[in-house]
Chain A
Amino acid sequence: MSLLQLQGLSKQFGDTKIIRDVNLEIQPGEKHAIIGPNGAGKSTLFHLISGRYHVSSGSILFKGTPIHNRSPFEITRLGLARSFQVTNIFPLLSVFENVRCALLWSMGYRYSFWQLLGKAQALNDRTEALLDEIGLHARRNLPAGELAYAEQRALELGIAIASGAEMILLDEPVAGMSHTEATNAVALIRKVTAGKTLIMVEHDMNIVFDMADRISVLVYGEIIASDIPSKIRGNPRVQEAYLGEVVPGGSDA
């Protein structure tokens, strides 16, 4: 059974249709990339899946459970985590606290006000291990807002994977990075998402074709192609979209 199913998904703001009748199935363990020109609705699609936006019509099933129009925290608890295109961390908390907070729910602490974090050995060990993994151990006591950009991106990723989610949505994880930083970031993403299901939005085609098992092309809110990388590369409609020729996004009103 597919891990995530989008069925006839649409989203409109006022009269503007941003997502039009999207159908997509993601299999467990798949690394799926969503590409498309600016303004195609890639981020909106992520916001719909992760609960930031309500859907206009259609449904989203995660592990067979409908998750559309549920709160982000409910969706996260089911095992679907995400990162953000614009860095979205806890700027005044230390790097260590950022990661520890992200681990809390999945480790069963919920809203506890009767347990002391200092005594939570397993939690603190996991935090340290995760800090090691994302390469921020040396920065652990710094307020997260003071990290360099690439480090904030690494922390962003760390917060997303901390919950141990089965499926992770990454929204442009290497945007704004230098070539070296991006190479390191890709290596990090590979390492920390090994064995997990991944959907990523990314503009860097080298990274996309390198990492993805399957690629979906989103143009004007519609998926015009969804296939393995070699077939996407040869698809005339995709080439047309990327050469700048305006592809009318279908004829639905």
Chain B
Amino acid sequence: MNSFEWTEAKTVEDAVARMGGSSVVKAGGLDLLDRMKEGISTPARLVNIRNVAGLDAIREDAKTGLHLGPLVTLAQLDASSLVRRRYTALADAAGHAATPQIRNVATVGGNLLQRPRCWYFRSEDFHCLKKGGDTCFALEGENQYHAIFGNRVCAIVHPSATATALVALGARLELTGPGGKREVALEDFFVTPEKDVRRENSIGEKELITAVRVPPLSQGTRSVYLKQGEKESFDWPVADVAVVLERSGVRCTRASIVLGAAAPVPLRVRAAEEALEGRAVNEETARVAASAAVRGATPLSRNGYKVPIFETLVRRAIMAAA
């Protein structure tokens, strides 16, 4: 790890003023520390925002929905009765990530912004596309944990479990930069490798996530998050799925289905949603939707097994949300 300067930001404005160049924002610091230890990130200065006041609130408003400060930890999301009752998929996504120790420190903002876990990206031994090289080593290499969709250029999967749930819940981000605040739909925030292989999202160099907002959910909306790792303790998903269903009687009026660990960005599968919308939710329609969810997958040499797992999880999540 290189030597670096540590600075404490007192306010959001203060943090924004100190950012840019070789300065990097540090919240929980988990992903950052990993990258610094491996020499993937070599910031000259860390801007600690952990102690900025007012960024760790969880509150709900009937009109505007759920508000999360970026410093809310995964453990808080998991433990919040409000989040668990109304936004179950988010509580479960946070609660099943990493380990209890990590969840106590990891923030939702950092979770959304973390860099991919691709083992080629994470190793200083491989100068891959993402790091300015000219090869995606996964495409012809060891790709058992890689993308089965959108994997033509770079086969990373987006690592954020909370993103899977939040995209399904229609979340929006508030970003604050030198020019003030802007808001963006989380779904549009992520950047595919085709657009820019060096980044996974569109946050500006001097921007901070200052809020995560989930719009109000209609009565009877249910959300489910399912994760399948090879292990239950301390493992990344080989597949995770978030399903949000709005219903009128037995009919599904609106469905939102998102696959995590499937593509370089959280992947909303509209064909699966359409297979449910306007229909009764049952084993049969769930099966059709699940099959639609994985249609068009382009698995690599070692990750074809992920396809039936995604199909299974989508079906099970739909049935759990029904």
**A and B, one complex?**
no
List chain B positions with a Cβ less than 8 A from chain A: none
